[in-house]
Amino acid sequence: IEKFEKEAAELGKGSFKYAWVLDKLKAERERGITIDIALWKFETPKFYVTVIDAPGHRDFIKNMITGTS
C-alpha cells in the first residue's frame, strides 16, 4: 500500500492508493476510473473474501452488488 500511496501522490491522486491495488492499467490510474474487471481473493481463519473492482457509476453500485450476489 505504501508503494501505491507514493505513486498516487506523485500523480496528484493520493486518495486513490487503495484503488490502485486492483487498478493495474496505466489509463485507469491516470484517469481515476476502473476500465477492466479485477478480482482479489484471500481468506482469513473464518472467511473467504473476494474483492471485486468493476466499471460502474456510483449510482448503480447497489444494483451491481445485488446482481452479482
CA distances from 4 to 28, 39, 65 (A): 13, 17, 26
Instruction: Tell me the whole-structure pTM to 2 decimals.
Output: 0.61
Cell reading at 36: 477492466
DSSP structure class, residue 38: E
Q: What local confidence, expressed as pLDDT, does residue 46 receive?
A: 98
Q: pLDDT digits over 5-57, tens only?
A: 898 899 888 888 888 888 888 888 888 888 888 888 999 999 999 988 888 76
Q: Strand ranges (DSSP E) for the chain?
A: 38-43, 48-53
